[in-house]
Amino acid sequence: MKTIIIDDEPHCVGYLHVLLQQHCPQVEVIATAGNGQNGLAAIRQFAPELVFLDVEMPVMNGFRMLEELAEMPFQLIFTTAYDRYALRAFKFSALDYLLKPIDTQELKNAVNRTNRSLPVNQQQITLLKTHLHQKDNAFSNKIAIPGIDGFTFLSLTDIVTCEAESNYTKFHLQDGKTMLVSRTLGDVEDTLEGKGFFRIHKHFLINLNHILKYVKSDGGYVVMSNNQTVSISRSRRDDFVLLFGKL
């Protein structure tokens, strides 16, 4: 697998190169680059099958570099020093990443996943940027939902519940509408962490601000503002009651 490493820190490039040689024999590093401009040139020259890309780089960062590409017919693995709260943005955008310092087993897993993944697209990059910088812009109270032709920006106050449907999630909205999203409920939960949502059941994530009533009978359930009833799983009941008492 022809591979390019793009990172402005030489020691990170060297360390990753050694790990790939020792543990990922299917990977052949054909070029490295220390900034986005050189990385862009290397991609156009060598047409790699896999790119390891650092986000924060001088001259041209990883996002700006990707925006210069009309197509990205390669697998992409971000290498990043972002904290764990920012990493949920990568997960929600269905993009792979490795947290620095890179762990050997995580590297092997990421490389193996490339055999089952489709090449990255610009919509994923835009979605990642939106969620990654939520705390710094006007969209901090919204979530960007990917669709066929772009994104729908939902206000968090409009979301009543999120329901798992296999590898999809159905958003139940305050106006009675629903929206099916090609993300797991776990991915949605990670994205909405700390924003007033609670995983009340393995199949449901609820907006605590939309609870109308908590009923103890029949194992315990809640009635939401859209009249939807959601059971409380036995494993979450104590946590919910404790949280509910603080509302």
Query: What fold does the segment set 142-244 form as a domain?
Result: OB fold (Dihydrolipoamide Acetyltransferase, E2P) (2.40.50)
**Pairing relationship of beta strands 159-165 and 168-173 according to DSSP bridges:** antiparallel
Whether 30 contacts 3, CB under 8 Å: yes
pTM of the model: 0.64
**Pairing relationship of beta strands 159-165 and 204-207 according to DSSP bridges:** antiparallel
Where exactly are the structural domains of the chain?
2-132, 142-244
What whole-number distance in Å separates Cα of residue 119 and Cα of residue 138? 30
pLDDT tens-digit profile of 162-182?
999 988 999 999 999 999 998
Identify which of 59, 53, 179 has the alpha carbon closest to the alpha carbon of residue 124: 53
| Residue in the structure block whose two tokens are 């764990």 | 84
Residue 136: CB partners within 8 Å, gap ≥ 6? none
Q: Please indicate whether the domains covering 2-132 and 142-244 agree at the CATH topology level.
A: no
pLDDT tens-digit profile of 103-151?
999 999 999 988 877 777 777 787 787 777 655 444 567 787 877 666 7
Query: What fold does the segment set 2-132 form as a domain?
Result: Rossmann fold (3.40.50)
Q: Which stretches of the chain drop beneath a pLDDT of 70?
A: 82-86, 94, 133-140, 148-150, 244-247
